[in-house]
Amino acid sequence: MGLFGRLLGAIALLGVFASACAPAQPPPVEKARVTFAAKEVHYAPYFVAIEKGYYAQEGIDLEIISAAGNASVAAILAGDAEFTTSPASALSAILKDAPMKVIFSHMDRPNYELWSSDPAIKTLGDLKGKSVAVIGRGDTMEISARLALAKAGQDSDGVAYVALGPGAARLAAIQSGSVAAAVLSLADVEQLKRAGAKGNMLVDVAKDVRMLFNGAATSDKILKERPEFVARFMRATLKGREYARTFKNETLDIVGKYNNKPREANEVEYDSLVAVMTTDGTLPVEAQEADTRVRAPLIGATTIRPASEVYDYSVARRVGEEIKKNGWQPTR
């Protein structure tokens, strides 16, 4: 081989070496439109993952879309959003044959309380024929209120559920007395108490109800056609979840930027949230089946679908195991 040939060979080897040593290219940026019913503390994993750059590291540009309950499901099915953080509303739709799956369970019970606006309303039985404010029809708040009523031996159809949307509308309604009762987050309850609550707490939903609560769901189409996109979304979300679990003060700072609530109110909700987080982002099969059995007749589903047709935690489990294996830990 001549000198020229040896030079070409050396250049080629240098090219291979440089290519091998070059840093891995980040994934291409993709938009992930995600629906949120509200901006409460239990959505902290997503807010943290945005602020800490976990989504950006995965090539995801997350867009927050305000949509409650059934509206969030409609957005997924229409292709107007990729994920919803209202998995309980998705579950209700799935039981009526919507092509979706629950892919992540952040909490196994809602940290809600049901409060009356009138001191004369002291028990769930006193609500018969009266109004109960929720965020959206068919959402977690309505289902939890129905389950609490049923457990107390009351007719869950015996009250009028009033959808007031996300934000402070439910708190304002109970303070003004325009509704008989409202399902409130603990941050709302803290504000209600500070303002001087007139009514009574009728039930602590977190103690009396077990159900699918906060988490995420997506369409069967996205799961099938874009599995790595789902994996990247879940990887960032699980990292945000671990950060939120580990660093309370920093998480409260982040959440406060999104909901503008007093820190004290968010802190009350944070403390209750940590106690009801699932271990690994999934529900055990028994809990999945129990929730389905209770929910199906409440929403008028004609059949009870097996858990395997409702939940798909395969991506969450795989990604969670990868994070552990790699020894990743959140840092301030």
Per-residue DSSP letter, 65: E
**Total-model pTM:** 0.76
pLDDT tens for 187-241 read 899 999 999 999 999 999 988 887 888 899 999 999 999 999 999 999 999 999 9
**What confidence score (pLDDT) does residue 101 get?**
99
Residue span(s) of the chain under CATH 3.40.190.10 come to 30-108+212-325, 112-208
Reply yes or no on whether the pLDDT at 4 is more than 70.
no
* Listed ranges 1-15, 187-201, 281-295; the one with the highest mean pLDDT: 187-201
- Of 54, 76, 154, 64, the residue nearest 114 (C-alpha): 154
**What confidence score (pLDDT) does residue 111 get?**
82
Report the sign of the C-alpha dihedral through residues 246, 41, 111, 140, in that order. negative
- Would you say how long the chain is, in residues? 332
Which of 22-31, 49-58, 104-113, 163-172 shows the lowest per-residue confidence on average (mean pLDDT)?
22-31
- State the pLDDT confidence band at 177, using cuts at 50, 70 and 90: very high
Domain 112-208 in CATH 3.40.190.10? The answer is yes
Reply yes or no on whether the pLDDT at 69 is more than 70.
yes
- Of 169, 155, 35, 41, the residue nearest 89 (C-alpha): 35
**What confidence score (pLDDT) does residue 204 get?**
94
**What confidence score (pLDDT) does residue 9 get?**
53
User: In Å, what is the CA distance from 234 to each residue of 36, 170, 216, 226, 317?
Assistant: 16, 31, 9, 13, 10
- State the pLDDT confidence band at 8, using cuts at 50, 70 and 90: low
Place of tokens 């977690």: 140
Which of 45-59, 180-194, 292-306 shows the lowest per-residue confidence on average (mean pLDDT)?
292-306
Neighbours of 228 (CB within 10 A): 10
**What confidence score (pLDDT) does residue 213 get?**
82
pLDDT tens for 83-140 read 999 998 999 999 999 999 999 999 988 889 999 999 999 999 999 999 999 998 878 8
**Topology, domain 30-108+212-325:** D-Maltodextrin-Binding Protein; domain 2 (3.40.190)
pLDDT tens for 257-276 read 999 999 998 998 899 888 88
